[in-house]
Structure 1
Amino acid sequence: MDKTTQSLDGKRRCAWCAVSPGELEPYHDREWGFPVADDQRLFEKISLEGFQAGLSWRTILTKREHFRAAFAGFDFYKVAAFDERDVERLLQNAGIVRHRGKIEAVINNARRAVEMIEQEGSLAAYFWRFEPEADEVAVPQSVSTSPTSVALSKDLKKRGWKFVGPTTVFAFMQAMGMINDHAETCFLRPHIEEARRAFIRPAH
């Protein structure tokens, strides 16, 4: 089954872009699936995927700049210093998703991220250690979890992270380029493959 649609520019893109081309196509074309090694961007990605739980990615994407402003650009060293007053402040911020559990999870995870830097050297070195074999997901966009996302979720939870279930972690893996989950006929799929081949994996 073809999981792409043809856009107005004549290119075939992953079908989920059709929900809101003006918002989703730029994200699809410039970010989704390109490998990421920057710790702050990785922390942003896993935080926003946690906020997405039960919601659409479009909802999160349209609020992303508000999230960035609210959470100090996802500088986890700064977020780790947030306290209960910050939680109450964020619960009044109409620009973000005002869910106490998710807000507290980001603050908790920022503290865990600082610990991870001390233990692993970088977030990137830790996450890329879990890069799965290429054939783990044989058919793009056919599953919402994988053996690797289950293992990574379990390890993160053991380290004290929150809102990092297997589905959230799998979406994070898709977004940060640990797998290429673009549809087979998506015009971007070969470009992602090329980017992944050229990507220098962080040292463990």
Structure 2
Amino acid sequence: MSKNTLMRHWHTLPFSARMIAVFTIVLLMAGACTRREAFPEESDEPSEMAEGLESDSASYDGQLLAQVVFDSIDYIVPTQDLLQPFIKEFGDGTVVDKVMIRKVQETKQDKAGYYLVGMGIRNGSYRAMALKLDVASDNSLYLSSQSDKFICGATAGCSFCYFTFSGSQITGCECESRAPGNLCEQKSSSTNELLKNTRLRNMREGESRRLETLGVSR
């Protein structure tokens, strides 16, 4: 049908019919625009925003254990709940009977570091494990599977070992007695599984809280 024929048919239509046709065309055009906006064209380029969200949510598994309040440590997780995880982490028969958080700071100019420490006995000899804690902006202390682990164990002739440090970093351990032959066994790792498959209680849920004055670890 030619353009002139269409125009003649259009002009022969009643005014009301022409208005209905115009209104219908407008509605169809609006619907097409709406569908186009709701379903954008696909692209082969990856979404930078989606990738950023994935990387932000990936991998940090830190669990809140305590918070530093002035010169004290406010325990949020009961330390007795960490005895068995420490025994499992040692994995060599060490029986852990004490868990605490200790501050490491060589001088007042050094930024303080915080470590979760478990201490016990294996075959009558002293053993200790220290795990570096992550410090949040509000001084909350978290332990993750990526936290550094240090083990210090007394050998024959040594009854007690201390962790040694530089700045706020543990560097090794040494025997309380510096007599020749009195040595400490040292091990370290950049990861740990202390809290793997461990369900922790939270003392903020109504239990009595423990507030302990912080001491500087030797």
TM-score range, shorter-chain basis?
under 0.3
Q: Which has the higher contact order (CA 8 A, sep 6+)?
A: 1
TM-score, length basis structure 1 = 0.26
TM-score, length basis structure 2 = 0.25
Q: Which has the higher helix share?
A: 1
Q: Which has the higher strand share?
A: 2
The structure with the larger Rg is 2
